[in-house]
Amino acid sequence: MTAEAPIYTLSEGCPYADPSTAQRFGNSPVKGLMLLQDTQLIETLAHFSRERIPERTVHAAAVGAWGEFEVTHDNSRLTSASFLNGIGKKSKVLLRISTVGPERGSAETVRDVRGWAMKIFTEEGNQDFVFNSIPVFFVRDPIKFPSVNRSHKRNPAKNTADSTMFWEQVLNITLPDGRWLIPSSSFHNNNQEGIHALMLLFSSRGLPSSLRQINSYSGHTYKLTKEDGSFVYVKFHFKSNQGVQGMSLEQATKLAGEEPEHHTIDMWNAIERGDYPSWTFCAQVMTADQAEKYRWNIFDMTKVWPHADFPLQPLGKLTLNRNPENYFADIEQAAFSPSTMVPGIAPSADPSESPSLHPSPGLLPRAYADRDGAMRYMTNYGDDPNYVRSSLRPVTFRGSLGANGFANGGPEHEEWVGKVTAYASEVTDDDFEQARAFWKVLQTAGEQESFVDNVVAHLKSAMARVQQGAM
C-alpha cells in the first residue's frame, strides 16, 4: 500500500498551493515589486540565510553513524554503571568521527588525528566519550590546548595551511637591554613532551585508509566506581575488529582530488551493504596502590600504560549498523560533553581532563530545577518548584556518593593525588622514552623510512630556521 503523500505547508503548518510562486505588484512578465505580505517568499528567503549553524572550532568535518553497544563480559567487579553490566545488554549509540583541524568540506584524506565523539543512550542517562585515534596527546598542560590546535590550523593572515605555523610557535623574549630574542624553534620543539604523539601523527596512523580501520583511546585516565565507594583507574580503548590500516601520502593526495569524501563514502557504503564495522571496547585497569608506585605519572596524557604492565581487559562491543537519516539533524547538530558521565564512571585527577569538563556544558535541563532559557519547547516542568530541596514535590535521588559515584580512595591516596598548587609541567628524559620505543616499533614494521618521508613532506615548506629547529 502506497503511503499518502505529505501536504505542502509553510513553517507554521498552513497549506499552500504552489511552492514556486510569489506575489508581486503588476502583471507584466519579469517586472514589478515583490510584496512583503507574501509569507511564503519572506519565509523561504529568511530561512535560507539562517539554515547553517556555526561550525565547530575544531572537529568540524566528520563522518557519523548510529549503532549499538553490547556488554560481552562480566564487568561487575569493576563498576556499577548499568550499561556496562549484564552480558548481552545493548544500548543505542551515536558515533561521530572527525578530523581535528580542517573545516567542513575539506578533503578527508589529510594527515591528522581523528576525534571519536560517542554518545551511549543508557537507562541512567547519556554517557559521552570524547576520544582520539592516538593513545597520547601533544601536551599535558591544559592551558596549552588552544595553542596546539591553533598551530595546526590556518595562518590567520594568509588564511592558508602553513607548515611554518604548524611547526613554529615563536616565543618573543625581552632581554634586559630591551632587545627581543626570537628563538627559531617549533611549537613541538618548545613542547617536547608531545614527541610521542607527533611520531604517531606522522606514522601510518595519521592517514587512515578507512575510519573502519582506526582505534580510539580515552587518553585521559578515568575512574570506574562501585556503589560501595571502591574504584579503579582505567584507560579506555576501542580496538577495530577490521584491523588498523593506513594509506600512503601519494594515495591520500590522489583521493583528496578525486574523492575528497572518501571516508564518508567508505563508511556509508559498508553499512548500506550490511558490512557493519565493529570495535572491541577494552580497559586497562590499575588500582590506587599500583598508581602510587607506577614508574610514570598515570595522569600524564603524553604517556601510555604499556600493555605488558596493564593488559587490555575486554568489556563490550560497539557495532555501527545504521546510517544517518539526515546528516545535519543526526550528526552536525549532535553535541558531546566529556562531563556527561553516568553513575559508575568518574573523572580522575588528570590535569588535562578536568578543564575539558567545563567548556562543554550539557544542553538539556536537569530534572526539575533548570528551566526557561533559549529554545525551550517542552512542558518546562509546569508548576513544579524551580529550586532544590523542596518538600512540595517529591524527587527521587539515587546513590549515596554524589555525582558520578565519586570515590576518593581514602586520605592517604588523596594526599598522593595532590593538593591545590600552581601547575606547569617540565620536560624530562622520561618524555622521550616511549617515543624511542615507538621508533623501534616503526623499525619492526618497516615504517621508519616512510615516517621520515612523511615528516620531510610536511616540513619542507616551513621556514629554514623552523626546519633547523625541528631537526
* Terminal-to-terminal C-alpha distance of the chain: 70
| Residues 179 and 93: beta-carbon distance below 8 Å | no
In this structure, what C-alpha cell is assigned to residue 447?
615504517
φ, ψ for residue 346 (rounded to 5)? -145, 155
263 included as an active-site residue: no
Beta partners for residue 322, in sequence order: 66
3-state secondary structure of 317: strand
Pairing mode, if any, of strands 231-240 and 345-347? unpaired
Alpha carbon of 99 to those of 158, 264, 367: distances in Å? 22, 12, 35
59 included as an active-site residue: yes
Which member of 132, 189, 191, 215 is catalytic? 132
**Quick one: which of 70, 123, 135, 129 has its CA closest to 94?**
129
3-state secondary structure of 433: helix
| Type of residue found at 12 | E
77's CB contacts (< 8 A; 6+ apart) are none
Please give the Cα distance from 285 to 419 (Å, whole number).
24
Please give the Cα distance from 254 to 44 (Å, whole number).
39
Judge if the upstream peptide bond of residue 368 is cis by omega within 30 degrees of 0.
Answer: yes
Please give the Cα distance from 105 to 84 (Å, whole number).
36
State which H helix or E strand residue 320 sits in.
strand 313-322
Please give the Cα distance from 347 to 417 (Å, whole number).
13
Q: Is 91 exposed, middle or buried (0-12, 13-18, 19+ CB in 10 A)?
A: buried
**Quick one: which of 11, 120, 54, 94 has its CA closest to 325?**
94
Please give the Cα distance from 59 to 37 (Å, whole number).
42
Which member of 59, 188, 196, 263 is catalytic? 59
319's CB contacts (< 8 A; 6+ apart) are 67, 68, 70, 276, 277, 278
In this structure, what C-alpha cell is assigned to residue 254?
590522489
In this structure, what C-alpha cell is assigned to residue 425?
609541567
**Quick one: which of 124, 129, 106, 111 has its CA closest to 56?**
106
The residues assigned a catalytic role are 59, 132
